[in-house]
Amino acid sequence: MEENNKGNLWRDTFKDVVISIIIVLVIFLSLYAYAQTWPPIVVIESGSMQHGDLSHIGTIDTGDIVIVKKVYSADDVVSYVEGRMKGYETYGDYGDVIIYKCHGELIIHRAIVYLHWNGKEWKIRGFENGNYPSWLHVTKDYITIDNVGYEHKKIIINLQKLNPNVVGKEGFITMGDHNLARFGPSAYDQSTSGFIPICPYLVNYNMIVGVARGEIPWFGAIKLYLTHTNTEEIPSNTNVNLAISLIVLVAGSVGIDYAIAHREEIKRKLRRLKE
C-alpha cells in the first residue's frame, strides 16, 4: 500500500512538472507569435522612463517587464510629435517607446522626432510642409517642443550639433521620460549639450529591436535581485507590490491544488449545506 502511494506521488509530481513546462512553453510561443522577435520580453533595468520615484501601472519602471514587438520599418514607429498630433499615447505620454541597440547596449526610450537630412537642412517627418502646431517651434538651429512629459517641461534639440556625416542622415531623436524631468531640455540621448550622449547617433531602423508593448509590473525585479543589477533603482513600492503578488500566487496555487485533491470531499460538504 505504501509503495502504491509513493508511486502515485511520483506520477503526480511528474505530471505537475510536465504540465508546468507545457504552460510556460505555450506562453512563450504565444508571446513570440505576437512579438515576432526573440526574446519577446525585456526586463527594465533602470529608472530612465519612470514618472516619478515610485512605480505606477501604465508607465515603465525599474523591475517591470515589457513585450518587445518587432517593427518592419521606421514608419511603424510613431514619434512623440506625431503621436501628439494624433492623440496617440503609450506608457503615459505621446508616441512609441522603442527598444534599440547602441554600442551593444539595449536602450528603452521614447521616440521624440524622426529627422531626415535633405542635403541642406534637417526636416521632421510628418511636418515637411512647415505647418507646425503652437507647441512645436522649428528654426534652422533648434527644435523646441513645449509642455512635454509628466513635469510639463520643454525639449530643446540643438540641430547645429547634429552633423549628418557623424550622426547619420536619418533616424529618431530619443529620450527617457525621467531623464527629461530630472536633467532638463537637453537630456535627449543624442545630445552633447551638457548631457552625456547615451547614443551619439540618430536611431535608424537597423538599430531598432522593437517597440514596447504591454507591461508586467514588478516581477522583473526578481531578475535584478538575482543578478545584482541596479537594485538601488528599484522603487520601494515595487518591492511591496511584488511581495504581495508572490504571496497571492502561492496561496492561490496551494488553494487550487487542495481543491483538486479534495474535490469530492468539497462537493459532499456543499451538498450538505444545500440540504
- Break the chain into its structural domains and give their ranges: 1-35, 41-216
110 falls in which pLDDT band (50, 70, 90)? very high
What does the block give as the cell for 250? 502561492
What's this model's pTM, rounded to 2 decimal places?
0.86
Cell of 106: 539595449
Asked whether 153 and 118 are in contact (CB, 8 A), the reply is: no
How high is the mean pLDDT of the chain?
Answer: 89
Give the lowest-confidence range in 29-43, 82-96, 175-189, 252-266: 252-266
> Which pLDDT value is given to residue 262?
67
Please report where in the chains the cell 504571496 appears, as a residue. 247
**pLDDT of 229:** 94
Structural contact between residues 187 and 154, judged by C-beta atoms closer than 8 angstroms: no
What span, in angstroms and rounded, lies between the C-alpha atoms of 106 and 115?
Answer: 21
Q: Torsion angle, CA of 234/20/69/95, rounded to 10 degrees? A: -40
| Chain segment 170-184, per-residue pLDDT in tens | 999 999 999 999 999
Is the pLDDT assigned to residue 1 strictly greater than 90?
Answer: no
| pLDDT recorded at residue 155 | 97
Torsions phi, psi for 220 (to 5 deg)? -70, -15
Of 267, 194, 229, 249, nearest in space to 47 by CA: 229
Q: Are 65 and 219 in contact (CB under 8 A)?
A: yes
Question: 159: which residues sit within 8 A by CB, 6+ positions away?
Answer: 121, 122, 140, 141, 142, 143
Q: In what order do the strands lie in the sheet with 142-148?
A: 136-138, 142-148, 153-158
Instruction: Give SS3 for 110.
Output: strand
Q: Are 84 and 235 in contact (CB under 8 A)?
A: no
